[in-house]
Chains A and B, each alone.
Chain A
Amino acid sequence: MKGVLRLRGSRLVAFCAAPAFATLLVAPWAAALAAGEYRVAPRRGGRLVVSVRSEVKHFNPLTAIDQPTRTVQSLLHADLLRIDRTDLEIYPNVASEWDVSDDGRTYTITLREGVRFSDGHLLSVEDVLFSFRAYLDERVHSPQRDLLIVGGEPIRVEKLDERRVTFELARPYAAGERLFDSFHVLPEHILGDSFERGDVASAWGVLTEPKQLVGLGPFRVKEVVAGERIVVERNPYYFKLDASSNSLPYLDEVVFVSTPTEEAEVLRFRAGDVHIVERLSAENFDALAADDSPSRFQMLDLGPGLEYHFFFFNLSPATGETLGARQSWFKNAGFRRAVANAVDKQAIVDLVFGGRATPLATHVTTGNKHWLNRELGVEPYSVSAAKRGLRESGFRWDGEGRLVDESGARVEFSLLTNAGNRKRAMMASLIQADLDQVGIRVRIATLEFRAYVARIFDTRDHDAALMALVSGDTDPNPQLSVLMSDGGTHVWRLGQDAPHTSWEAEIDRLMQQQLVTLDGRRRKELYDRVQAIMLEYQPIIGLASPHILVGADNELKNFRPGILPPYTLWNADELFFSQASAP
């Protein structure tokens, strides 16, 4: 995803061309598919053309960060276990089964028999050991390395026999098996020498000979035309079979073409030059759906994803006198609650996301059906409630209707946002107008993206900021870096050695506890409490969660997009074109 930073399991969305549409909800569609209503006999062959918003940087899974690069790699490689994007449960992939010890610290994974890499080389336990050795090697600087550090210690990977490998964790890690999704198994016979030389991080660039790009995924690289297209072809050694024991994938080829903007992508989709579009804006989604008279496209609104837009007040130690004075307001939970009351979240949903988003109470979106605390509601938009809250928190209004604090100082602050993000600029304008109604003056400050990130994470010299984060999974654990007081994305108060407030200490304790609790129901109770605290103290003021909006050519079958990336190609091995019009 363009402009998305991965921050220890969460991603900061910078230029989220935010999604949104809803007449075709995925639930009834998925149910119909499950019932076999839409199923047609799979047909082998065909060439799927997919657009990516930025060029694929390289083919090395160890160092992949951006979404287009990771999406292409997801077709070339396979993981031991995999999250199904439709039911969000974990299933064996390269592994045939897995087992967790009673204390939750040891995972034993058994490999499938006879699995081969795309060059015909047989997979062995050594390849698994090598892969995790590479991911954990500090010289590689893999962005996923942090996920393999549990309880401050790297996961210990050991060979049990010729088919089984154990992963030992320093402490219990609830839902630890979900960690294995997106850790690709790599070929030691190809990358081993490079690893020993210490240059594996720079291996597999775009100029690498396609034959050297070996993986366990359903496709392998056929052709790379830098800056233009990447063609991947069927991997004849792919290990998966369909229900009728036919080898997968069905498609002959998948072509990734670079299309830098959503507008250009939509034009190509409309012209039939590409078969799948994802992360659509509501305007384009609605336009495509309205234009779909001959039923050329399947346009799907998957509902809210895991991306949450919010703004927060800077509670980090003040860098100047002005900020210090303003922080006396920001640190007042009553003030934050009143501000949350004064913001019309439904207006944000309607005007910014064209109705294709959901208002947010906390960081957990309604798309995260399993972990959402359903007892918590979104604070109602109410100017009178906001004014009441401000009055109770010690604020008052001067003769001109301006909010002032106990010392008579006018309440005003700057709201930081980044340039080039139209939706975020609109949100800032709406917040500004809403808070003006309760006498708070908001100045919108727009900075170039790197300057914006530096202000928040480095100098911490700002009043409040608009931001979006997207969780890498529905499970609470990827939110640790946001929720824990020492987390790298604990944006409202960064760099704490110990929790500064009692409620942050309680969140720390609850998150630590859920991390080592293996009972799912108990974990849910703990995480529900975390959400209740987040709502009560409003360290982040949730705004909206945009819907995941995707579209595909109507002849493409088995198209089952999900709310986790890669949204549309996660089951590329099962996609096929119906007989009528395979390209």
Chain B
Amino acid sequence: MTRRNRKLTAVVSCLVMLHVVAALAGFFAPYSYREQNRDAPRAAPTRIRWVDRSGRFRARPFFYAPGDGAVVPVRLWVRGSSYEVLGLVPSNLHLFGVDEPHRIFVLGTDSLGRDLFSRLLYGGQLSLSAGLVAAALALGIALVMGAVAGYGGRWLDSVIMWVGDVFLSLPWIYMLLAARAFLPLDMDPAEAFLVIVLLLGFLGWAAPMRLVRGIVMSAKEREFVTAARSAGAGHLHLLTRHVLPQTYSMLATQAAVLVPAYMLAEVTLSFVGLGVGEPRPSWGNMLTDVPRASVLSAQPWVFAPAVLIVVVSWLYHSVLSSVHKREPGAADFGSAE
């Protein structure tokens, strides 16, 4: 395995791991995202230790309880709040936790005393899936529309390009605001957010469509396509077997750009109130506390969602970079067969 391949494998592994941890947030998080500890708002992260005050090393990590200073061991495989694995299998098993009535806050708590670490993991479910879903939808529509426009040509091309231009000029933020205003108020916050994400993806197909169209127009004139056509290949066969595969490299590139872009859009949406509704966390709505000066200095751990957003964005861009270096032809969005 070359060094580049190793790097690509490592980056993809990290991304997969992040997604898996988010998908299994109920197991990795010690508490439910909605559980409030009203006597512990804005609590600092629990200081986990291996060495006690007498200097003795303990194999099991522990911390001193606030107040009475009792030693509280951190236990693995504990039973706690109920959740559903991937929304299917009910469970109450958690990777770690502490005995009641103690609480462990790995990243501290928010203003309502909710465990930030648990919310960070649950928040990843919506933030990561928002990027994936919106990018998949945008690229899916872009592929179909670009293929039709580029392959069909003539009036079909003109109409689709005109529609694409209209979509590019739409003030998407206002459209999303209007859409949210018309959604039923008793809709589940996660469902309402999914609608907004789908709309976001639906509004974002025009730019990648132009790239798909360009590649399709170029590819359909290539010699191997002409040869296949001469051999009697039909339009569908030509498109699916010879033309569209030319766009896959570009689509992968676009995906690596769009997924973090849509993830950041979720942060923007949270600031204008279109994000996930309370109490569901997302990395975007968890950052609404950050712009306050008092928080900046006193509670730096609330930046954790921002750090994860940066890390995930960097990982996606690293994938893009590695792919380009491995396949030099990928950068021009087309490759010769």
- Chain A: residues with CB nearer than 8 A to chain B? 261, 263, 266-267, 281, 283-284, 286-287, 322, 344, 347, 350-352, 412-414, 416, 418-420, 422, 425-426, 428-430, 432-433, 443-448, 451, 454-455, 461-463
Contact = CB atoms under 8 A, between A and B. Distances in A.
Contacts of B289: 422
Contacts of B272: 419-420, 448
B61 interface: no
Nearest to B285: A425
B278 A444 contact: yes
Contact of B181 (A286, A350, A433, A447): A447
A351 B38 contact: yes
B185 interface: yes
Contacts of A463: 185-186
A425 B288 CA distance: 11
Contacts, number: 95
Contacts of A454: 181
Interface in B281-329: 288-289, 291-295, 298
A426 B112 contact: yes
A351 B292 contact: no
Main secondary structure of the interface of B (DSSP, over half): loop
B273 A446 contact: yes
Nearest to B34: A433
Q: Which of B34, B41, B271, B294 has the most chain A CB within a 10 Å cutoff? A: B294
B38 A445 contact: no
B120 to A, nearest CB: 17
A429 B185 contact: no
A414 B293 contact: no
B279 interface: yes
Contacts of A448: 177, 180-181, 272-274
A267 B294 CA distance: 10
A444 B273 contact: no
Contacts of A419: 272-274
B278 A263 contact: no
Contacts of A286: 294
Interface residues of B, number: 31
A418 B273 CA distance: 8
A422 B292 CA distance: 11
B188 A443 contact: yes
Nearest to A465: B185
25 contacts: A261-B291, A267-B293, A286-B294, A287-B293, A287-B294, A322-B186, A344-B38, A351-B112, A422-B288, A422-B289, A425-B278, A429-B36, A429-B278, A429-B279, A430-B36, A430-B112, A433-B279, A443-B188, A444-B279, A445-B185, A445-B187, A445-B192, A446-B277, A448-B272, A462-B185
Given A425-B278, A446-B277, A447-B273, 5 more contacts: A350-B41, A426-B111, A445-B186, A445-B277, A455-B185
Contact of B186 (A267, A283, A344, A443): A443
Interface in B196-220: none
Interface in B25-78: 34, 36, 38, 41
B187 A443 contact: yes
Contacts of B192: 445
Q: Which of A287, A413, A462, A463 has the most chain B CB within a 10 Å cutoff? A: A287
B113 to A, nearest CB: 7
B180 A447 contact: yes
